[in-house]
Chains A and B, each alone.
Chain A
Amino acid sequence: MKIFFLVLFLLCLSPPAVTEESNILGIEAAMILQFPNFISWKTSLSSEEFTIGVHDEKNYLPLKAFFLEKKIQNKVVKVIRVDLSNALPALDILVFFAPDIKSLNTFFGQTACHGTLIVTSDLDGIKHGSHINFMVKLGKVRFEISQTSATQCDLEINSRLLKAAAHVY
């Protein structure tokens, strides 16, 4: 059995091709990277950069690392940490993965949400105004979409994305 570990050791010397953590957050981040291909922003808030605001501290750094040097709609992605209790900059996507989903209401309290796609990962995400909410279903990462809420925020979601969603509200 020493051979097992010797083989593994030798393999570890070769450079890996994976460049980010491939955990569940990684899957969700990769999906967020794909979403703008299926969404039309009627109102563009940020101009030179595609700005993603991350509400919670836990996921901010991993998401920042994931989106490093990535581009969305030919714009360089900028990931910033946001606090919903303070004034917010213009955001293209708000990632709200914090467990206190009710505090998402404060976001709507200070902005009319025009042009900001809200992405959550909570059972009650859609109920609290999220546009795309992640879930683990049948052992795979899935998402549900609130087309109604998205339309109210000047976002048009492509039928291909709607078809891929587990639920559409």
Chain B
Amino acid sequence: MRIISRLYFCWFFILVLTASLHADEQNLATMGLDELMNVQVVYGASKYKQLTRDVPASITIITHEQIAKYNYRTLADALSGQRGFDITYDRNYRYLGLRGLNRPGDYNSRVLIAINGHRYNENIYDSTFIGDDFILDMSAVERIEIIRGPGSAIYGSNAFLAVVNVITKSSAEGKGTQVEWNMKKYGTHRGRLSYGGEHAGLELMANFAFYDSQGEDQFYPEYNDPATNNGVSVKQDGEKVKKGVITAKFQDLKIDIAYANRTKEIPTGSFESVFNDGREGTQDVRSYVDLLWEHSYDLFTPSIRAYYDSYYYEGDYPLDYPPITLSRDETNGKIWGVEARAVLSAIAKNKLSIGLEYRNNFQQDQKNFDVEPYVSYLDDKRKETIVAYYLQDEIRMSDSILINLGARYDSLNTSDINQFAPRGGIIYQHSLKTNLKALYGEAFRAPNCYERYYASPSSQKGNPNLKPETISTYEFILEQSLTRNLNLTVSLYEFTVQNMSQQIVDPNDGLQIFVNQGAIKSQGSEFEVEYKNDSGTEGALSYALAQAKDSTTKAIISNSPRHKVLSRMAQTFFNQKLTLAGELQYTGSTYAVDGSKVGDYYLVNLSARTLDLGVKDLTSFLRLTNLFDRKYGQPASTAFRQDTIEQDGINFELGVGFTF
């Protein structure tokens, strides 16, 4: 590996030198208006607007045009087509892996998802939702900013592998009243009503959506026994979601209100549930209110954010003690917090960002009980406050060298956790065509309430002394504009995760417990070529190589595909009234948690969308997923009897929308 690693560096060195020698004299003053209008700006990396080339991270931005072109219906759809990402599904939740790290059983707590800068991870499991359970319908999304690498220097805990900041549409972008209805296989319907408008200076955007799927029967050979219906789970894959978001802006004040309520039937017999019982399922209710005031003065821009978050989870698992009894997990999480921040430009060549955040997890309740007859096993109530300070400076050393230094200090009052997370980067802008970034960052993931306090006498016990996981990352990025329409991004990275929080069985009592055990080291590289022209054609081809190994055993960790190849292409016709798009996604083989090999697979998705074709203001679309009906499975966690969970075959989604 060391030799391969050095070869990478040598190759990269040659590539960089070649790029340097051929760097032309282009600068902003020589760029045409069209080119200037294509330079991307990102907000989520530093909590203020920056050009992507100035950001100390590898950035991808998914625009709402791309979301429409490829008919991405969920955040998972959009992220699965992005370099380095690996999304898996266990027929309850979708899991987000990045750069070879997607630990089975982790509820997306190693990626921080923000919505307009508001932290979306809840406060019991630190989980986020990326499927249809995501709090926003994709039609409400203006763009998705993916900021790879550690982000704890700005965001604190959970910004471990990446920050994904989702920006909602403004009133102007979603102007008018829109309705949309669509259907797909398995008795699935989806609908949306949205509105955007401005009244007396008040900008308003509202978006309400529902999703209803009956699901289909699932067969699991692990349960192929007459006592368990020969492995067939009958009509237990249904899902229902109701969600809505309202954003209002008046002068310097902005308020976001969002709500999502999702129930999901589970067909897999997870957590030793009785297979095909019909009662196994979960409900997640997530909501928040976020109030933001921001004003620009001559030399500084202060902002204050205040928020209230709520999360409710209910999980029903029929267990055969015997007799068969319905066991229920119930959690309630509530947060309020404030964040004050200022961006100062008073010092020449410096852009200083300072912030203070206070977060009060004033409710972190977990219950576990039998429903009938009622027997309580866990009734745990916790509170926690977090105080954090952060500072970042963007220093322009010269016309071509930008240095970015930042750090955040988090203090959690209840668990005596004080964590410091620094980040630094040197960005060398050789020309507007060649940009080099050398980055180092540390991040952490504080142990969540579930890992520390969940206990059930028959299966699990808490560990209040659990320490934070930490990650340190080195990354070297080349961003090279090859032609006016073609851009190359190359990234080489290495990260080490220490104090991994892993669930093991305590040999003394046979109970499962989360402990800090082991370390993971991942080395990898990513290559991406993106094409975009003015007539609406766009596409990308990327290859990601990730080698994530257990530092002790040197073995490749589970659920960590080594190779990932992604390609996409969209072309517009008839003055952009028709868009055809296609995606090819190849995922290399990996290992299940028991060490067995999970085969590689490729997926082809196609979509077509019309706008104003024949009828003005009418939109129609068709999306075909897994076109060649590939049979494939994805690794499951230890909560399942199955090593892998089989995924859906070919499916279609057909929809129409109208704007009034």
A153 to B20 CA separation, bound complex (whole angstroms): 47
* Given A16-B399, A20-B29, A142 contacting B426 (CB threshold 8 A): no
A88 touches B (CB below 8 Å): no
Given contacts A8-B436, A16-B429, contact A27 B28 (CB under 8 A): yes
Interface pair A34/B53, CB less than 8 Å apart: no
In the complex, are the beta carbons of A23 and B27 less than 8 A apart?
no
Asked if A34 and B36 make an inter-chain contact with CB atoms under 8 angstroms apart, the answer reads yes
Q: A18-B400, A34-B36 are in contact. Are A23 and B51 (CB under 8 A)?
A: yes
Instruction: Give the CA-CA distance A164 to B534 in the complex, in Å.
Output: 12
A114-156 interface bits toward B, Cβ cutoff 8 Å, 1 = contact, 0 = none: 0000000000000000000000111111100000000000000
Q: Are A3 and B31 in contact (CB under 8 A)?
A: no
Contact A141 B29 (CB under 8 A): no
Partner of A26 from B9, B12, B28, B476 at Cβ < 8 Å: B28
Bound-state Cα–Cα, A142 to B436, Å: 26
Q: A18-B431, A56-B298, A164-B33 are in contact. Are A12 and B39 (CB under 8 A)?
A: no
Which B578-619 residues have C-beta < 8 A from chain A? none
Q: Which residue from B24, B27, B143, B396 sits with its C-beta under 8 Å from A139?
A: B143
B93 is an interface residue with CB less than 8 A from chain A: no
- Which residues from A are CB-within-8-Å of B112? none
The reply to whether B299 and A58 form a contact with Cβ atoms under 8 Å apart is yes
Given the complex of chains A and B, what is the CA–CA distance between A70 and B29 in angstroms?
A: 9
Cβ B29 vs Cβ A140 within 8 A? no
CB proximity to A under 8 Å, residues B465-503: 474, 476, 494
A31 touches which of B25, B36, B145 (Cβ 8 Å): B36
Checking A11, A21, A70 against B16 with a beta-carbon cut-off of 8 angstroms, the contacting residue is A11
Whether A30 contacts B430 in the complex (CB less than 8 A), given A4-B474, A136-B41, comes out as no
- Tell me how far the C-beta of B154 lies from the nearest C-beta in chain A, rounded to whole angstroms: 18
Judge whether B298 and A17 touch: CB under 8 Å.
Answer: no
Contacting residues of chain A (1-55) with chain B, CB-CB under 8 angstroms: 1, 3-5, 7-8, 11-12, 14, 16-24, 26-27, 29-31, 33-34, 38
B223, chain A: closest CB distance, angstroms: 48
Q: Give the Cβ gap from B10 to chain A, nearest Cβ, in Å.
A: 9
Task: Write out the residue numbers on chain B whose beta carbons fall within 8 Å of the beta carbon of A99.
Answer: 295-298
Q: Is A98 an interface residue (CB 8 A)?
A: yes
> Is A11 touching B20 in the complex (CB atoms < 8 A)?
yes
Any chain B CB within 8 A of the CB of A66? yes
Most chain B CB within 10 A, of A11, A19, A22, A167, is at A22
A33 and B16 alpha carbons, distance in the complex (Å): 31
Mask, B609-648, CB within 8 Å of A = 1, is 0000000000000000000000000000000000000000
**CB < 8 Å neighbour of B400 from A3, A16, A24, A66:** A16
State how many angstroms separate the Cβ of B260 from the closest Cβ of chain A: 25
In the complex, what distance in Å separates the CA atom of A30 from the CA atom of B436? Answer: 23
Q: Is B61 an interface residue (CB 8 A)?
A: yes
Contacts of A18 in B (CB 8 A): 27, 399-400, 429-432
Q: Which residues of A contact B440 (CB under 8 A)?
A: 1
Of all chain A residues, the one with the shortest Cβ separation from B144 is A139
Shortest C-beta distance, B22 to chain A (Å), equals 11
Judge if A57 is at the interface, Cβ distance under 8 Å: yes
* Cα–Cα distance between A56 and B345 once the two chains are bound (Å): 13
Question: Quick one: which of B4-23 are within 8 Å of A by CB?
Answer: 9, 12-13, 16, 20, 23
Does B37 count as interface, using CB distance less than 8 angstroms?
A: yes
CA distance A29 to B173 in the complex (A): 26
Contact A66 B296 (CB under 8 A): no
B431 touches A17 (CB 8 A): yes
B29 adjacent to A8 (CB under 8 Å): no
Bound form: Cα–Cα A76–B54 in Å: 31
With a cutoff of 8 Å between Cβ atoms, the chain B residues found around residue A21 in the complex are: 396, 399
A61 (CB) vs chain B CBs: closest residue: B348
Given contacts A11-B436, A17-B26, A99-B296, contact A3 B38 (CB under 8 A): no
Chain B residue nearest in CB terms to A122: B296
Inter-chain contacts of B40 with A (CB < 8 A): 139-140
Check B32 against A4 for contact (C-beta < 8 Å).
no
Asked whether A136 lies within 8 Å of B49 as measured between CB atoms, the reply is: yes
Instruction: Give bound CA distance, A99 to B251, whole Å.
Output: 12
Q: How far in angstroms is the closest Cβ of chain A from B344?
A: 11
CA distance A34 to B23 in the complex (A): 23
Interface pair B432/A31, CB less than 8 Å apart: no
How far, in whole Å, are A144 and B157 apart by their CA atoms in the complex?
40
Chain B residues in 8 Å Cβ range of A58: 298-299, 345
Q: Kindly report which residue of chain B lies nearest to residue A142, judged by CB atoms.
A: B37
Are A22 and B28 in touch, CB under 8 angstroms? yes
Q: For the complex, what is the distance from the CA of A139 to the CA of B16, rounded to whole Å?
A: 28
Find out whether the CB atom of A8 lies under 8 angstroms from the CB atom of B41: no
Residue in A3, A20, A24, A98 whose beta carbon sits within 8 Å of that of B51 in the complex: A24
Inter-chain contact B428/A12, CB cutoff 8 Å: yes
Nearest B residue to A29 by beta-carbon distance? B28
- Shortest Cβ gap from A143 to chain B (Å): 9
Complex contacts, A70 vs chain B, CB 8 Å: 29
User: B400 — which chain A residues lie within 8 A by C-beta?
Assistant: 12, 16, 18
- In the bound complex, do residue B63 and residue A138 qualify as a contact, i.e. CB atoms below 8 Å apart? yes
Cross-chain contact B298 with A22 (CB below 8 angstroms): no
Please, which residue of chain A has its CB at the minimum distance from the CB of B433?
A: A17
Alpha-carbon distance A27/B41, docked complex (angstroms): 11
Q: Are B37 and A24 in contact (CB under 8 A)?
A: no
The residues of A that contact B41 with a CB separation of less than 8 Å are 24, 136, 139-141
Nearest CB of B to A10, in Å: 8
- From residue A18, how far is it (CB to closest CB) to chain B in Å? 5
In contact, B54 and A23 (Cβ under 8 angstroms): yes
CA distance in complex: A6, B54 (Å): 21
Q: Least Cβ distance of A115 to chain B in Å?
A: 22
A17-B27, A27-B51 known; A138 vs B430 contact (CB < 8 Å)? no
The residue in B37, B398, B431 that gathers the most chain A C-beta atoms within 10 A of its C-beta is B37
Given contacts A29-B28, A30-B31, A141-B41, contact A7 B142 (CB under 8 A): no
Q: Is the CB of A141 within 8 A of B39?
A: yes
Most buried by B among A38, A66, A141: A141
Q: How far is the CB of B249 from chain A (nearest CB, A)?
A: 9
Residues of chain B within 8 A (CB-CB) of A137 are 173
Q: CA A159 – CA B289 in complex, angstroms?
A: 43
Q: List chain A residues, Cβ under 8 A from B13.
A: 3, 7
Q: Is the Cβ of A34 less than 8 Å from the Cβ of B32?
A: yes
Would you give the 0/1 interface string for B134-170, flagging 1 where the beta carbon is closer than 8 Å to chain A? 0000000011010000000000000000000001000
Point out the residues of chain A lying under 8 angstroms from B173, CB to CB.
137-138
For residue B599, give the distance in angstroms from its CB to the closest CB of chain A.
35
Complex-state Cα separation, A22 to B396, whole angstroms:
11
Task: Write the nearest CB–CB distance from A147 to chain B, whole angstroms.
Answer: 17
CB–CB B298/A20 < 8 A: no
Inside 8 A of B443's CB, which chain A residues have their CB? Answer: none
The distance in angstroms between the C-alpha atoms of A3 and B39, with both chains bound, is 30
30 contacts between A and B (CB under 8 A): A3-B9, A12-B401, A16-B400, A16-B429, A17-B23, A18-B429, A18-B432, A22-B27, A22-B51, A24-B41, A24-B49, A24-B50, A26-B28, A27-B36, A29-B28, A34-B33, A98-B298, A99-B298, A136-B41, A138-B64, A138-B142, A138-B143, A139-B143, A140-B39, A140-B40, A140-B41, A141-B36, A141-B37, A141-B39, A161-B33
Identify the 5 closest CB pairs spanning chains A and B, nearest first.
Answer: A16-B400, A17-B431, A30-B28, A1-B474, A99-B296
Beyond A17-B431, A136-B41, A140-B41, 10 extra complex contacts between A and B, CB < 8 Å: A12-B428, A16-B428, A18-B431, A19-B399, A20-B27, A23-B54, A139-B40, A140-B38, A140-B40, A141-B37
